Amino acid sequence: MSDLRIAVVGAGMMGSDHVVRIENRIVGAQLTAVVEPDESRAKAALANASNAKWFPNIDAAINADAMDAVLIATPGEYHEEVLIPALKAGLPILCEKPLTPDPQSALRIVSAEVSGGKSLIQVGFMRRFDAGYKSLRALIESGEQGDLLGLHCAHRNPTVPDSYHNDMLIYDSVVHEIDAVRFLANSPIKSVQVRNLKRNTLGPEKLNDPILVLLETDSGVLATVEMNVSVQFGYQVKTEAVFEKGIAEIGRTSGMTRFSDSKISVDEHTTFKTRFADAFDSQVQRWVIAVKKGTIDGPSAWDGYLAAAAVEAGLEALHSGKQVNCTYEKKPSFYK
């Protein structure tokens, strides 16, 4: 079977990472297009791609028949303007999280996919492809340690750029836990509550960080999430699961341990690009294989919508300090 021709849309931090991934590590696919309005960014990405062409926008790439599938890696607020034309062109799509930042726009995407009659969208919640998350999910499902009672999640970034603002704590960062907690507990998020830890003065002035988020599932599992984007020391995503019989922990760094200067130290990641590199690779490889079979292999647009609906509750909880219940539309039979 011939290689799947992929266009990466957005050549920022994540898009350029995917360019290198597709070019060097993914089997059965080739990068044929980079869609990016900023010419210098596009050129920097194209320097790592042997056969790809530059297109300033998605319509130009579609009109040139430059690809068989699209990987969207622009910021979440720009996803809809690429998703709609790509869906109309009948192209399979791997869309970085969040599908869209709010449930209204996510529902517009869902209805566009449903009316096309074909599963074309996979959402890039890459943690579902991480070895630790997969083994924890399997342990929970096995019932070996009894029922899952609660989760303690820590999501820590060393720093964030100036463009990162308070609401992004929820829709750009906690959105990962919103999907992961639902995935691990196998139950929808029922309510969200947010409190602030004492503010870290080393973070950007406009940011009230870190926060503590409580996610409650329909099944009664309570997850605490420490969302911290100014922790300074490294990139860390850990989860501890509390069972009826014991505890399980994932996400402890496996970096080199050093014994020197009367100290023991272990290297930690500094970015999600390395922490989740294997998960990103596995996600993209499995998507390529699935697309060739005319399907998806991962979270759907409906999963993207559910996350957006819980994000909406999370934003209200962040602004009001109250516990906010999530509300969801009825699932279309298309996604069953």
Residues that bind ligand ISE (CB under 6 A): 157, 172-173, 176, 229, 272
**What minimum distance in Å lies between the beta carbon of 334 and ligand ISE?**
27
Q: DSSP letters along 282-314, please? A: HHHHHHHHHHHTTS--S-BHHHHHHHHHHHHHH
**What minimum distance in Å lies between the beta carbon of 39 and ligand ISE?**
24
Please identify, using beta-carbon distances, which residue of 15 and 148 lies nearer to ligand ISE: 15
| Helix, coil or strand: residue 323 | coil
**What minimum distance in Å lies between the beta carbon of 209 and ligand ISE?**
11
Please identify, using beta-carbon distances, which residue of 157 and 193 lies nearer to ligand ISE: 157
**What minimum distance in Å lies between the beta carbon of 229 and ligand ISE?**
6
**What minimum distance in Å lies between the beta carbon of 235 and ligand ISE?**
7
DSSP state of 111: H
Instruction: Mention every residue, 6+ apart, whose C-beta is less than 8 A from residue 167.
Output: 315, 318
In Å, how far from its chain's centre is CA 194? 21
Please identify, using beta-carbon distances, which residue of 145 and 270 lies nearer to ligand ISE: 270
Nearest to 101 by CA among 70, 122, 69, 123: 123
Please identify, using beta-carbon distances, which residue of 127 and 137 lies nearer to ligand ISE: 127
**What minimum distance in Å lies between the beta carbon of 121 and ligand ISE?**
18
Position closest to ligand ISE via CB: 173
The C-alpha atoms of residue 270 and residue 157 are separated, in whole angstroms, by 8
CB 185 within 8 A of CB 148: yes
Nearest to 223 by CA among 152, 174, 310, 133: 152
Instruction: Mention every residue, 6+ apart, whose C-beta is less than 8 A from residue 279.
Output: 126, 127, 128, 129, 130, 131, 133
Please identify, using beta-carbon distances, which residue of 160 and 313 lies nearer to ligand ISE: 160
Please identify, using beta-carbon distances, which residue of 173 and 300 lies nearer to ligand ISE: 173
